[in-house]
Amino acid sequence: MHYLGFCCLILHAIVVRSTELTFELPDNDKQCFSEELEEGVKLDIDFQVIAGGNYDVDCFVTDPHENILYHEQKKQYDSFSHITTTGGAYQVCFSNEFSTFSHKIVYLDLRTGNERPLLPVMNRAAAMTQLESTCLSIHEILKTVTEAQTRFRLRESIDRLRAEVIHERITYWSLGETALLFAVSAGQVLMLRSFFNDKKGSIGT
């Protein structure tokens, strides 16, 4: 019991702030997100387009002096890391201005801050005990599990949205085929009736 409590205390010794969100980016539109950061803070950005058009978007990051730190066009997904050199508001912007009719759905993971050593022994040249090594291994495994869950969640979202689009197209196609079938059937009935009407007219004469 004390062992588990000790591990939990160690695993919470992290000062990294993470913001995950999924937002809709309309066509001919741009959205920006701002984060106040101090000097010497690590900034990590991961993004992925999960629906819309060709699954691409423009992305750029600027510092408080509006210097461009990162700029990529028509990317489906990418990552960016930076250590801030000055304090102030850093902006992450996504642009869909090149698209005239298709809106996009974008996933963003914004992480800021520095990860402290999990154990005090990691700051000095000393061997770790078995308990400390086990706690560190648990932490690394949990990080791997979290990253895997994020990937699986994004993949599930992409597949679900694609399935919904395919289902919608199949529904419209089926309705069109049904309407066409009724139209052809009605045309055949009218054509057959016209044949019988012509025969009655020819016998009377």
What angle do helix axes 2-11 and 130-204 make, rounded to 10 degrees? 70
pTM: 0.63
pLDDT band at 57 (very low <50, low <70, confident <90, very high): very high
Confidence of residue 7 (pLDDT cuts 50, 70, 90): very low
Which of 59, 52, 3 has the alpha carbon at shortest distance from 31?
Answer: 59
* Position 133 in a domain: yes
pLDDT value at 4 more than 70: no
Q: Please compute the mean of the pLDDT values over residues 194-199 and round it to a whole number.
A: 71
Both tokens assigned to 8 = 């939990």
Domain membership of residue 71 (yes or no) is yes
More confident position, 13 or 145: 145
DSSP 39-82: TT-EEEEEEEEEESTTS-EEEEEE-TT--EEEEEEEESEEEEEE
Kindly state whether residue 138 falls inside one of the protein's structural domains. yes
The pLDDT value given to residue 5: 40
Total structural domains in the chain? Answer: 1
pLDDT at residue 202, rounded to an integer: 54
The tens digit of pLDDT for each residue in 110-165 reads 888 876 656 555 555 555 677 777 777 787 788 778 777 777 777 777 777 778 87
DSSP of 103-158: -EEEEEEEEES-PPPSSGGGGTT-PPPHHHHHHHHHHHHHHHHHHHHHHHHHHHHH
The predicted pLDDT at position 111 comes to: 87
Q: What is the CATH number of the domain that holds 12?
A: 2.60.120.380
Q: Does 58 have pLDDT greater than 90? A: yes
Q: What is the pLDDT of residues 159-182, one digit of tens each?
A: 777 788 788 889 999 999 999 999
pLDDT of residue 116: 64
Q: Is 59 part of any domain?
A: yes
pLDDT at 17: 76
Please, what is the average pLDDT of the chain? 79
13 is a domain residue: yes
* Highest-scoring range by mean pLDDT, 2-6, 49-53, 128-132, 149-153: 49-53
Cα–Cα distance, 105 to 23 (Å, whole number): 6
Structure tokens at 140: 């690394």
Is the residue at 194 inside a domain? no
> In this predicted model, what pLDDT tens digit does every residue of 87-109 receive, in sequence order?
899 999 999 988 888 888 898 98
Residue 20 belongs to what domain range? Answer: 2-159
User: Do the bridges between strand 42-51 and strand 104-112 make them parallel or antiparallel, or are there none, so unpaired?
Assistant: antiparallel
